[in-house]
């Protein structure tokens, strides 16, 4: 009987000791979890602060880039508008000329370039002119040449031109007489004067 009681007491001691050890382990685990929780909380707060800082930095950088571009964009838009006005004014001037003067300009362009054409027949294409007018023009500008018409010589841009033009293809050499091209040449020579008249003194600095 005494032996049974001793065994029961020993079992209770073992169980109590195990309970105490388990309790210590649980408390240690709880403390560690609490410590980890605080560490993660601090890390999360730090990460959020860093993200907010980077966001503010990116927003400010973007704002500065936009502000830096605004004057340039405004200046570029003004320059493009001025260019459209000048080109339009020059083309309107040439379009308003009597046909005889337009043909005179085209004939002068052809004669200036005719020496570069090889001898022999040529193919031609034209826009803004009728075939009878083109025949007269070629007989005066290229009296030694015979020609056939090939509208495929025109580029897509040339097909869109509003002013008269004439393309002459001699095989190895192709020449073009175009009032639109002449308008660009005239703009190079008289841009400052025309800009001052149409746009004011400040336009020549764009």
CA gap 63, 191 in Å, rounded: 37
- Domain ranges in the chain are 99-184
With CA atoms as reference, report the closest residue to 177 among 101, 109, 105, 112: 109
* Residues forming a β-bridge with 123: 148, 169
* Residues forming a β-bridge with 126: 166
> Per-residue confidence of the chain (206 residues) as pLDDT tens digits?
454 445 556 556 666 665 666 566 666 656 765 665 566 666 666 766 776 787 778 777 776 776 566 566 676 777 677 777 777 777 788 888 888 888 898 999 888 888 888 888 899 999 999 999 999 988 888 887 888 999 898 989 888 888 899 999 988 899 899 988 888 887 777 666 766 665 665 555 55
Is the separation of the CB atoms in 186 and 93 below 8 Å?
no
Is the separation of the CB atoms in 167 and 125 below 8 Å?
yes
């Amino acid at each position: 009987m005494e032996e049974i009681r001793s065994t029961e007491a020993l079992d209770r001691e073992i169980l109590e000791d195990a309970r105490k050890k388990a309790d210590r382990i649980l408390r240690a685990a709880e403390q560690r979890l609490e410590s980890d929780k605080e560490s993660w909380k601090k890390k999360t707060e730090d990460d959020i602060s860093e993200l907010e800082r980077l966001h503010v930095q990116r927003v400010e950088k973007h704002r500065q880039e936009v502000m830096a571009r605004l004057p340039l964009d405004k200046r570029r838009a003004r320059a493009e508008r001025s260019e459209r006005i000048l080109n339009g004014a020059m083309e309107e001037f040439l379009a308003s000329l009597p046909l005889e003067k337009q043909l005179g300009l085209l004939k002068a362009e052809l004669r200036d370039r005719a020496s570069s054409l090889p001898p022999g027949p040529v193919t031609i294409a034209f826009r803004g002119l009728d075939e009878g007018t083109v025949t007269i023009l070629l007989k005066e500008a290229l009296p030694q040449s015979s020609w056939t018409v090939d509208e495929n010589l025109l580029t897509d841009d040339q097909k869109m031109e509003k002013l008269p033009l004439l393309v002459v293809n001699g095989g190895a050499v192709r020449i073009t007489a175009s009032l639109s091209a002449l308008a660009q040449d005239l703009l190079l020579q008289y841009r400052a004067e025309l800009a001052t008249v149409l746009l004011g003194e400040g336009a020549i600095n764009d």
